[in-house]
Chain A
Amino acid sequence: MAEKEKFLGEFEQFLLLSILKLGDNAYGSTIRQLLADTIQRDVTIGALYTTLERLEKKGLLESKMGEVTPERGGRAKKYFKVNAKGQHALKRSKQALTAMWDNVALSHQGYNS
């Protein structure tokens, strides 16, 4: 990966991690619900697909159309999978964050929660 390549954004990381956590069952609804349950972030389906499309264009994930089910009004699911490039980008972002956090001690002044 080129040195100058940008790190992943926060939401991009959340999405890629959700897809990895969900494994073979990663599609719009399940990703949305996992984000709501795990980090209490209620994203619209439109925002979700905007970022998923961007990640797919960047070549960090792959998608395929799945089966049609009655509870979806006879519409197919679109499954997502993080590929090797996506996993590498995630690792790189995590390493960068860990390196930045190294030797950082937060003071409790002004921190009320």
Chain B
Amino acid sequence: MKNLSQAYSQPPKAANKFLTWALPDNIVEPVLGDLSEEYYQQVANNSLLKAKLWYWRQALKSGFQFVLKTQRGFVMFVFSIILFLALTFMAMLLGDAFDFFFDIQSLLIVFPPAIAFAYAATSKADVTNAFSLLLGSNSEQNEQTYRSAKRVFSVLGNSGFALGVFMTLIGWVAMGSNMEDMTHFGTAFAISILALIYGIALKMVCYVAEQKIQTLSELQS
């Protein structure tokens, strides 16, 4: 019980992880130390909740202060993805058929199999490492690690695209077999294309991720 309460009164681990990721290497140790010291004073003088809230406020404000300097590449990557999604949503809204672009079945037949293929073609460690590299939390790697990470995004993107084409073709075959009933042809055609759209979107994001890993690898060498 005592161990549990001791663990609970520790500074939030997630906040520490965020700071370790966001701060420049040379000040991680003193900053975490300073915050821990003041955190325990806060725990002694105020409530535990107040101390945790104080710690999170310090961690978030301090981390975001440095993140553009230390994780610029990652921030730009996220920004480009957000921009891509925003423009996509805008195009959907302009098409006046926003709901029509979301089809759970099409999502399920592209994304989970593509992820499964990426795991199958590489390894769990490679996939984890690829995303860690992309998030900037796994710097200073060797050439082999960068190659493996690139392969993960390559397999993920290409599988997603191929699955999109494959599922669309299956949809067309199904439509072709029911040509006598043309009342739902338009809807069926549109849905069959959605899998291809999701596949292309996944391929595009993976292409950017692959190029980002390539840039990191070149900067390293």
Contact = CB atoms under 8 A, between A and B. Distances in A.
Contacts of B31: 28, 45-46, 49
Contacts of A69: 33, 37
A73 B62 contact: no
B33 A77 contact: yes
Nearest to A33: B38
B30 A77 contact: yes
B58 A45 contact: yes
A84 interface: no
Interface in B20-36: 23, 27, 29-36
B215 interface: no
Contact of B34 (A29, A50, A53): A29
B119 to A, nearest CB: 36
Contacts of B62: 44-47, 49
A49 B40 CA distance: 20
Interface string A34-71: 00000000001111011001000000000001000101
Contacts of B37: 29, 69, 71-72
A49 B64 CA distance: 13
Nearest to A47: B65
Interface string B115-157: 0000000000000000000000000000000000000000000
A28 B30 contact: yes
B30 A75 contact: yes
B63 interface: yes
A97 interface: no
Nearest to B10: A73
B2 interface: no
B66 interface: yes
B11 interface: yes
B34 A27 contact: yes
A23 B101 CA distance: 65
Nearest to A79: B30
A75 B65 contact: no
A94 interface: no
Interface string A7-40: 0000000000000000000011100110000000
Q: Which of B33, B37, B58, B63 has the largest number of chain A CB atoms within 10 A?
A: B33
B34 A76 contact: no
27 contacts: A27-B30, A27-B34, A28-B31, A28-B33, A28-B34, A29-B38, A32-B38, A44-B58, A44-B65, A45-B31, A45-B35, A46-B31, A47-B61, A49-B27, A49-B62, A50-B65, A65-B29, A69-B33, A72-B36, A73-B10, A75-B30, A75-B32, A76-B29, A76-B33, A77-B33, A77-B34, A78-B29
Interface of B: 10-11, 23, 27, 29-38, 40, 57-58, 61-66
